[in-house]
Amino acid sequence: MMMDTAGLSAEHCVELLDTREVSCRELVSAYLDRIDRDDDRVHAFLRTRRELALAEADGFDRDGRTGLQGVPIALKDILCTKGEETTAGSRILEGHVPIYDGGCVTRVKAAGLVSLGKTNMDEFAMGSSTENSAFGVTHNPWDPDRVPGGSSGGSSAAVAAGFAPLALGTDTGGSIRQPAALCGVVGMKPTYGAVSRYGLIAFASSLDQIGPFAHTVRDCALLLQVICGKDECDATSVELPEPIVVPEAQDLRGVRLGVPTGLLEQGIEPGVRESFDAGIRSAKGLGADVVEVALPHAGYALPAYYLIAPAEASANLSRFDGVRYGLRREEAGDTIVDMYGRTRAEGFGAEVKRRIMLGTYALSAGYYDAYYGMAQKVRTRIREDFQAAFGDCDLIAMPTSPTVAFRIGERVDDPWAMYASDVLTVPVNLAGLPGISIPCGLSEGLPVGLQLVGPAFAENRILVAAHALEQALGFDPRPAATAEAQA
């Protein structure tokens, strides 16, 4: 049967499978066919796994299924997948085939979700636009001349374009929430440690976290149920104090929302602010008590982040040297140092090199205390600011991105303008807190995201509030550009 997968939620997929209105093969085929038909203009996927995916679907049709079994999912190409190429969007790992599954991939497979393939991303998750991929730019399904956000732009674009009902991305400084906002989908960064990082190709180990993309908050919760929890292979992972619950419809009576007004005084596009304010009015209409809170050190988050994250990247990426895996460039007479240099010069892109150099400098003798050490002190202050704010409110609300999706090429020559895309998401990573982005309206015909942030391990509190607000806002997740292309 012919299926329109645009805007199709994972819950609806389960319903179709449970009632046998479609088979697993028909559902998976519908998504793969849409990718084949439309991904040339989006480039959300780096590679798909049609035969393997259909074989898994056939197995569920033959042996029976339950829960999320048979529902398709897309995986960011930074998650190690046994026997399948995993590149982190970099030439230096082109052709790299892991011999094991990452923790999240293991859980996804155990739940019976069917991977459609690997999605495009900024190289080693370093970027806010998915223009830094070594394998081409991803386009926003709402407007192909604009970026989908980054670094998980392939995953967010895949969900927005109807290529997958669910996807996994990673969030180091906003790389789930920001592309979710720019593509008009739901994206959540769990509390640091709530999800195993085993098998995640590291960018900045104290900041990286894996999380879901979906069309709805309930879908997001369903995927969180799969991926959250302690993993013996990741010493930083923990069991959540309470299991993830799929939220039911309710209002926001008794919920205190804090708005950090001082953080929103400049740099926010008027249309973004208007949509955010409309979202806050909706929250009040649902009974929420909205109060002003202060995050006095949040303005220092970007400079602190761009010392801490590059420093950790400098250490993590030193393993990519041409010796153990990935690209190797050497010529007759080369010393091992020559081989290192040539391999890394050819294998790494410009943004990755920039951050490695920034991080190496920040960690160098004579500069460590002045730069890296000071940035860590700022990080502590930011964490303390959030703790104080949560003494006055249950959740903090702010726009996810200060702008809607910008044009491809608009910021590639201005690193600071690109980094500023994450000004409202980075503080949350530095504090290790959970946050979700939900669509709250349109500005200039492009999606605007509203971000809800909670205390550590307050995922359920966030999901309940986000679901209530989502229902009140009634955002249509189907991009007009996608509908026109379909027609």
Which one of 175, 314, 401, 421 is the catalytic residue? 175
Integer angstrom CA distances of residue 232 from 11, 78, 195, 238: 30, 20, 12, 9
**Are the C-beta atoms of residues 465 and 395 closer than 8 Å to each other?**
yes
In sequence order, which residues have a C-beta less than 8 Å from that of residue 241 and are 6 or more positions away?
A: 457
Measured N-to-C along each axis, helices 270-285 and 459-473 cross at an angle, to the nearest 10 degrees, of 100
Catalytic residue among 23, 90, 115, 151: 151
Tell me whether residue 196 is one of the annotated catalytic residues.
no
Residue 389 neighbours by CB under 8 Å, 6+ apart: 258, 260, 293, 294, 295, 396
CA–CA distance, 17 with 178 (Å, rounded to integer): 32
Sign of the CA dihedral with 397 first, then 403, 408, and 412 last: negative
**With 0-12 CB in 10 A as exposed, 13-18 as middle and 19+ as buried, what is 96?**
middle
Specify which residues 189 forms β-bridges with: 435
Query: Annotated catalytic, 189?
Result: no
The terminus-to-terminus CA distance of the chain in angstroms comes to 18
Bridge-based pairing state of the strands 210-214 and 186-189: antiparallel
* Marked catalytic residue, from 9, 23, 29, 76: 76
In whole angstroms, give the CA distance from residue 342 to residue 321.
9
| Cα–Cα dist 380/429, whole Å | 12
C-alpha 220/C-alpha 147 separation (Å) is 23
Rounded-to-integer distance, Cα 122 and Cα 116, Å? 20
Say how many C-beta atoms besides its own lie within 10 A of residue 204's C-beta: 24
**Helix 103-110 and helix 217-227: axis angle, to 10°?**
110
- Catalytic residue list contains 76: yes
Note whether 297 and 381 are within 8 A (CB). Answer: yes
User: For residue 336, how many other CB atoms are within 10 A of its CB?
Assistant: 11
In 151-294, which ranges are continuous DSSP H helix? 153-160, 177-183, 217-227, 270-285
Helix axis angle for 350-363 and 301-316, nearest 10°, is 100
For residues 54 and 213, what is the distance between their CA atoms, to the nearest angstrom? 22
Catalytic residue numbers, as ranges: 76, 151, 175
